[in-house]
Amino acid sequence: MTSQDVRKQFLDFFASKGHLIVPSAPIVLKDDPTLMFNNSGMAQFKEYFLGNATPKSNRIADTQKCLRVSGKHNDLEDVGFDTYHHTMFEMLGNWSFGDYFKKEAINWAWELLTEVYKIPKENLYVSVFEGNPEENVPFDQEAWDIWKGLIDEDRIILGNKKDNFWEMGDQGPCGPCSEIHVDLRSEEEKALVSGKSLVNNDHPQVVEIWNNVFMEFNRKADGSLEKLPAQHVDTGMGFERLCMALQGKTSNYDTDVFTPLIEKVEQITGLKYTSNEVLNISEEQNKTNIAIRVVVDHVRAVAFAIADGQLPSNTGAGYVIRRILRRAIRYGFTFLNIKEPFINQLVAVLANQMGEFFPEIKSQQQLVTNVIREEEASFLRTLDQGLQLLENVVTETKTATVSGTKAFELYDTFGFPIDLTALILREKGFELDEAGFNTAMQAQKARSRAASEVSTEDWSVLIPGNVETFVGYDQSESDVKITRIRKIDSKKDGILYQIVLNNTPFYPEGGGQVGDKGTLVSANETIEIIDTKKENNLILHFAKKLPENVNASFTAKVNQDLRNLSSRNHSATHLMHQALRSILGTHVEQKGSLVNPTYLRFDFSHFAKMTETELQQVEDFVNARIQEQLPLIERRNIPFAQAVQEGAMALFGEKYGDEVRAIKFGESMELCGGIHVKNTAEIWHFKIVSEGAVAAGIRRVEAITSDAVKAHFASYENTLNEVKIALKNPQDILKAVHSMQEENTKLAKQIEALVKDKVKNLKAGLTAEIQEINGIQFLAKQVDLNPEGAKDLAYELGNLGNNLFLVLATADEEKPMLTCYISKELVADKNLNAGQVVRELGKFIQGGGGGQPFFATAGGKNIAGIQNALEKAVEFVK
Ligand code: SER
């Protein structure tokens, strides 16, 4: 059974049990501050469990792209070393939202595994929650009884809180679970050791495949559990492990999910991967296998994250992606001996293999390949530099142990992996002070933890069960009541309150547009709202203080001036997107955007720097649409498929509902939840202010509209006026500037000639002043020349012989400067160095500098020190 068939059968089975099949949510989460990536199938449904939103169907099933590389669930460092952990994996899942519970969930799981997939019952074990008195959660008798009707009692195992009580994070929905484990060992092995004793014991062939969670509780901020309003089911089955079981393999990497990728790596590296069936492999082969597993695992995580819109970067989710990719590069570099970018070549294989079910990987293939290739190239350069630095560290180290702080510096500043440092040091016969490294690492972690610490209290619910409605498309003011309040305390912003209203005109940050600001006004007081954000389905209004009377009636008022400025920039962004596609081509796709009252920023896929002409064309295109005074045509709640069919642009990595909102200005049509102008004329004018690269194949344009353009032109006009006044009000400014430049060139030439003459004269006089000390021709003297003149003079005097030591001091334009010239022969014979001389003497003029061994200069601040410097110079020759 191919992996494609396995996936299809799962979805078909649950469709036949009345489940709605939905697509996987993007791997990167946008509106959830507690989670960076989807780490389980249920993450996208969290709000349904909490009762903050209503699902389309109370039975849903899907396969979800998951990533477990940060936060509570993090498998990154295990990946490669075993045969069944992954960074990215697919989780097949079925859900009941307040509908069926344990009986159906368990019976269907059993039916699917044993009757559809036909896994022999004697290979399966199940676990049931044993209960936990501290949490006040009893033994799961109900699950036990259901299982007893399906499977021998001695195949049911009791599990503790760690194994059988599932929680997504420190807070949120949770509950006891029942896991299904499969024993894939040979009959001989089974006869020797019972599978039961190996369950939950990290045995590579006795693994959990399916977790059935019975969501009943919500974990609160203080750690206590409260009952959820309804009972739900959340199941998750590891797709790759299931494929292993169904394809008769003992390693996930031997299934067709991975073999095409592995074959490609073999082809590129000329190395061989050995399947898990091959026993007694050499140490060398084991290392190769690990590295290949790391590479083929990590490329999936990175490629899907990029396809879903998350580029590698230095912060947040982007940094996690960069670290995963770097881990793969580093394994390729050290163990597969590949010193050039190669991982990007696997994207084509992946697209071919998974593109049918996940179309994003196919349509984004080129971009994903480019981004990975560029990241590889840049990290390989870093590795090169790091190796060089490590070489220096080793040379400097006089003991057999290299300090942990040094290794940490390499890791922290250059991203040089610590295990690579340790390996290289071992090869060179050095020890690494690992304890020192760990201490430095812990200290840094503590620092960054402290900086990002946020404590979030539980919600105080004032009006229960109220679903917040957004009314901001039609109005900027609304009569409201507060439904809930929560206090948060962060190192960054101090204490803030998050306020949820029964309805709100405030736009929450999203789709690139910043959140609205404004006020909550009651009969007695006014509360400033400093920002508005979304957390899953709730719209949070941020305030520095709470109203005295939180139960009062308020008018929520959006700051209309700021909103107008943002909406002009947002509508201009749509027009620019259209302009870019029409001028550069339809390969242009949005990769990121920011819209605030001051400016707009737009990232898009395009392979070359935009020319001046193209930029002008884009500006003209947008300004033409502004002049056409195109009215906004807004369509709410149209079916997604219809909108796309009518030509609306949808973005990858964005999660759209079945019904969407389309924004149309003339020919521009996009799916968008943002706030827009009613007519393009409101934008007044559009001006691009910068264009540059953000990553391989991704450009960034920044632009301004309306008031900002006026300010931009006004500031130019101001500067121009000042220039005009400074030039004494000429008729033609440009002509005046040109003639000034010409005059300047002429004068510079004259000065050069005069300085030359002066150098000649000085040379004649100074030759006589040269003294002989220790067989060296020595002169230290202040001269009245500019720095170029001093250099010329030094070379002129230097030409006179081959044993000159010369220090010239100048104070041109009140800036002290020392110039040292030493004949090359002296540099060699007497071990003199001009760079060292100016550094030493530079201290007298409060300055520094350097250069070559025979010629160096130092500039400083203290003219009064020149005399001392010149007097000291003689000591070098003495
Ligand atoms: N949430 C559970 C898990 O991730 C089941 O889907 O294991």
User: Which atom of ligand 1 is found nearest the CA of 212?
Assistant: 5
Q: What is the pLDDT of residues 560-576, one digit of tens each?
A: 999 999 999 999 999 99
pLDDT in tens, 310-363: 989 888 889 899 989 999 999 999 899 999 999 999 999 999 999 999 999 999
User: Could you report the per-residue pLDDT of 77-111, keeping only the tens digit for each?
Assistant: 889 999 989 999 999 999 999 999 999 999 999 99
Of the residues 24, 40, 62, which should be mutated to test ligand 1's pocket, given the most ligand atoms within 8 Å of the CB? 40
- Going from the Cα of 211 to the center of ligand 1, the distance in angstroms, rounded, reads 6
**For residues 540 and 592, is the Cβ–Cβ distance under 8 A?**
no
* Ligand 1: centre distance to CA 747 (Å): 79
- Is the beta carbon of 234 within 6 A of some atom in ligand 1? yes
Ligand 1 contact via 214 beta carbon (within 6 Å) = no
Separation CA 864–CA 82 (nearest Å): 71
Nearest C-alpha neighbor of 517 from the set 572, 551, 472, 469: 472
How many Å apart are CA 110 and CA 151, to the nearest integer?
9
Atom of ligand 1 nearest to the CA of 213: 5
**Closest ligand 1 atom to 39 CA:** 4
pLDDT at 452 over 80: no
Q: What is the pLDDT of residue 29?
A: 84
**Distance between Cα 756 and ligand 1 center (Å):** 82
Q: How confident is the model at residue 72 (pLDDT cuts 50, 70, 90)?
A: low
Q: Using 50, 70 and 90 to split pLDDT, how confident is the model at 516? A: very high
pLDDT in tens, 390-427: 888 888 777 888 888 888 988 887 778 888 888 888 87
Contacts of 482 (CB under 8 A, 6+ apart): 462, 463, 499, 500, 501, 502, 547, 550, 551, 554
Residue 199 CA to residue 131 CA, distance in Å, equals 18
| Cα 687–chain centre separation | 29
Helix ranges, 494-605 (H): 560-583
Give the pLDDT score at 315: 81
| 238 pocket-lining for ligand 1 (C-beta < 6 Å) | no
What is the pLDDT, as a whole number, of residue 309? Answer: 87
b/e string for 725-742 if b means 16 or more Cβ within 10 A? eeeeeeeeeeebeeeeee
Q: Which ligand 1 atom minimizes the distance to the CA of 40?
A: 4
From the alpha carbon of 66, which atom of ligand 1 is closest? 4
Q: State in Å, rounded, how far the first CA of the chain is from the last one.
A: 89
Q: Is 767 or 658 the better-scoring residue by pLDDT?
A: 767
Residue 650's pLDDT band, with cuts at 50, 70 and 90, is confident
Select from 869, 866, 776, 771 the least CA-distant residue to 812: 866
The H-assigned helical ranges of 85-186 are 102-111, 141-148, 161-164
- The beta-strand segments (E) located in 168-224 are 172-183, 206-219
Could you give phi then psi for residue 189, rounded to 5 degrees? -65, -40
**pLDDT over 80 at 13, yes or no:** yes
SS3 content of the chain, % helix, strand, coil (to 5): 45, 25, 30
Q: CA of 223: how far to CAs of 74, 132, 314, 458, 510, in Å?
A: 21, 14, 33, 10, 31
More confident residue, 401 or 371: 371
Closest CA to 503 of 548, 553, 561, 547: 553
- Pocket test of ligand 1: the residue of 60, 89, 177, 219 to mutate, having most ligand atoms within 8 Å of its CB, is 177
Q: How far is the CA of 235 from the centre of ligand 1 (A)?
A: 6
Mean pLDDT computed over 199-204: 90
Q: What is the dihedral of CA 108, 111, 116, 119, to 10 degrees?
A: 120
pTM: 0.74
Per-residue model confidence as pLDDT tens digits over 795-821:
999 988 889 999 999 999 999 999 999
Given a contact cutoff of 8 angstroms between Cβ atoms, the answer to whether 485 and 550 are in contact is yes
- Residue 874, burial from CB neighbour count under 10 angstroms (0-12, 13-18, 19+): middle
Report how far residue 296's alpha carbon sits from residue 288's, in angstroms, rounded to the nearest whole number: 12
| Joined tokens for residue 801 | 């012989």
Of the listed ranges 438-447, 666-675, 685-694, the least confidently predicted one is: 438-447
Burial 19-51 (b: 16+ CB within 10 A, else e): beebebbbbbbbbbebbbbbbbbbbbbbbbbbb
For ligand 1, is residue 235 a contact (CB within 6 Å)? yes
Instruction: Using alpha carbons, list the distances in angstroms from residue 269 to 341, 342, 373, 632, 856.
Output: 12, 9, 16, 56, 49
Coil, strand, or helix at residue 577? Answer: helix
Separation of alpha carbons 51 and 226, rounded Å: 13
Q: What is the mean pLDDT of residues 514-526?
A: 96
19 alpha carbon – ligand 1 mean position (Å) = 18
For ligand 1, whether the C-beta of 40 sits within 6 Å is yes
Q: How far is CA 617 from CA 401, 504, 571, 579, 623, in A?
A: 62, 40, 18, 8, 10
pLDDT at 58 (0 to 100): 95
CA of 766 to the centre of ligand 1 (A): 87
Highest mean pLDDT among 105-109, 585-589, 765-769: 105-109
166, 200, 217: residue to mutate for ligand 1 pocket, most atoms within 8 A of CB: 166
**Residue type at position 490:** S
Measured distance CA(429)–CA(450) in Å, rounded: 38
Question: Is the distance from the beta carbon of residue 173 to the nearest atom of ligand 1 less than 6 Å?
Answer: no
Q: What is the mean pLDDT of residues 662-690?
A: 96
Q: For the chain, what is the mean pLDDT?
A: 92
- Give residue 220's Cα distance to chain centre: 29
Cα atoms in the Cβ-side hemisphere of radius 13 Å centred on 128: 19
> What is the reported pLDDT for 43?
86
| pLDDT at site 412 | 83
Gap from CA of 43 to ligand 1 centroid (Å): 9
Sheet holding 698-705, edge to edge: 590-595, 600-605, 698-705, 686-695
pLDDT of 71 reads 67
| Binding site membership of 62 for ligand 1 (Cβ less than 6 Å) | no
User: Atom 4 in ligand 1: which residue has the minimum CA distance?
Assistant: 40
236 lines ligand 1 (CB under 6 A): yes
Residues 296 and 515: their CA atoms lie apart, in Å, by 40
pLDDT at 450: 76
Task: Tell whether the torsion through CA atoms of 867, 869, 872 and 874 is positive or negative.
Answer: negative
For residues 656 and 29, is the Cβ–Cβ distance under 8 A? no
**Ligand 1: which residue has its CA nearest to atom 2?**
236
Sign of CA dihedral 219, 225, 229, 231: positive
Q: Is the CB of 211 under 6 A from ligand 1?
A: yes
Nearest partner of 685 among 703, 672, 702, judged by Cα: 703
Helix intervals (H) in 543-653: 560-583, 612-627, 640-645
pLDDT, average across residues 42-67: 90
Q: Cβ neighbours of residue 806 under 8 Å, at least 6 residues apart?
A: 778, 779, 780, 794, 797, 798, 819, 820, 821, 822
Q: Does the pLDDT value for residue 168 go beyond 80?
A: no
42 CB less than 6 Å from ligand 1?
Answer: yes
Using an 8 Å Cβ cutoff, are 574 and 686 in contact?
Answer: no
Residue to probe by mutation, ligand 1, list 85, 91, 219, most atoms within 8 Å of CB: 91
How far, CA to CA in Å, does 39 sit from each of 66, 300, 315, 606, 690? 5, 15, 19, 31, 37
Q: How many CA atoms lie within 13 A of 238 on its CB side?
A: 20
Q: What is the pLDDT of residues 784-796, one digit of tens each?
A: 999 999 999 999 9
CB 166 less than 6 A from any atom of ligand 1: yes
Q: How far is the CA of 801 from the centre of ligand 1 (A)?
A: 84
Angle at 273 between CA 269 and CA 277, to 5 degrees: 175
Measured in angstroms, how far is the CA atom of residue 458 from the centroid of ligand 1? 24
| CA dist., res. 258 & res. 239, Å (int) | 12
Contact partners, residue 105, CB within 8 Å, separation at least 6: 94, 96, 212, 214, 233, 235
- Closest C-alpha among 849, 848, 798, 868 to residue 827: 798
Q: What is the mean pLDDT of residues 257-282?
A: 95
Q: Is 213 in the pocket of ligand 1 (CB under 6 A)?
A: yes
- DSSP state letters, 732-776: -HHHHHHHHHHHHHHHHHHHHHHHHHHHHHHHHHHHTT-EEETTE
Q: Residue 186's closest CA among 243, 250, 272?
A: 250
Q: Domains of the chain (ranges plus CATH)?
A: 3-252 (3.30.930.10), 455-558 (2.40.30.130), 563-713 (3.30.980.10), 749-876 (3.10.310.40)
Taking alpha carbons only, the member of 279, 276, 274 closest to residue 251 is: 276
Closest residue CA from atom 6 of ligand 1: 236
Residue 55's nearest CA partner among 40, 42, 68, 39 is 42
